[in-house]
Every structure is written in structure tokens, then in C-alpha cells.
Amino acid sequence: MIGAIIAKRKVRSAYDSLNRRDLSSFLANWREDATFIYYGAAFVSGRFEGKKAIGQFAQKYWEQFPKWNITVKNIMVQNIFAFGSTNVVAVEWDLALTDREGRNFQESAVSIIRIKRGKAVLVCDYKDPEADRKAWGENKV
């Protein structure tokens, strides 16, 4: 059970660092060879390999959305006894966004995070592709 407590704390801390736009704290939770997959239909969707590419994606997101807030709703841990080893965490979250034009958007998503030795090795974000396209300005509302 201690493994689940540690995993949940680390995940909450990572999402808190996103809300603060603290890139170095956020990236400290990733392995150098990590992969982030941003599923969807928006032009920014894709696969980002390595911490540098993941950091560049975060910067691009922050440029598009000057205001944002992630609210973590639930965190589920696959192996509650895993302590410092491999594990899988699912995070359900809501996101309130304001783009550069002042338009507001609400999204809900789930992230699946594969952890190896306490750091993210693979993260996949799943969200509504049409809501994502609208937020990125591909379907003006």
C-alpha cells in the first residue's frame, strides 16, 4: 500500500507543477528516454520522444493557453504494493483553459502513466478530440 501512496503523491506533485508552469519540476518526474503520446485530432497531437521534446510540447501548450488549471479527480494505481519499481497509474482530470484570444474551454481527460524506477517512461493522454480541436482553434466556436 505504501507504493500506491508514493505514486499518488508523485502524480499530484507533477500535476501541481504543470499548474504552476514549473517546467523543471514537471520534467524531474520523467525519465530521459520517456515518451508522451498526445492522442487526438488537433495539429499538435502526436508522439514526443525524450524529455526535451516533452518540455517543448509543454511550452507550446502554455503559449497557446495563458491561463489554465488542471483539477485531478481520481488517481488509480495498478500495483498498490510496488515500491520504487514498475507500475501503471491512471489519472482522471479536468482542465479549464483560456486561450490567447480570451476564449474559455473545459475538457476532461484520462492519462495513463507507466512508471519505471519512480519516473514516467510512457504517458498517454486521452481526451475528446473535437473539444481539443476547438481549443486549439481548428474549429472556431
> pLDDT value at position 13?
93
Amino acid at position 140, single letter = K
> pLDDT value at position 122?
98
pLDDT, one tens digit per residue, over 94-134 is 999 999 999 999 999 999 999 998 899 999 999 988 888 88
> pLDDT value at position 141?
42
pLDDT, one tens digit per residue, over 39-96 is 988 888 999 999 999 999 999 999 999 999 999 999 999 987 766 678 999 999 999 9
Which of residues 28 and 129 earns the better pLDDT score?
Answer: 28
Residue 6 has pLDDT above 90, yes or no: no
> pLDDT value at position 86?
83
As given in the structure block, the three cell numbers for residue 131 are 473539444
> pLDDT value at position 123?
98
Alpha carbon 109 to chain centroid, angstroms: 9
Give the number of other Cβ atoms within 10 Å of residue 52's Cβ. 11
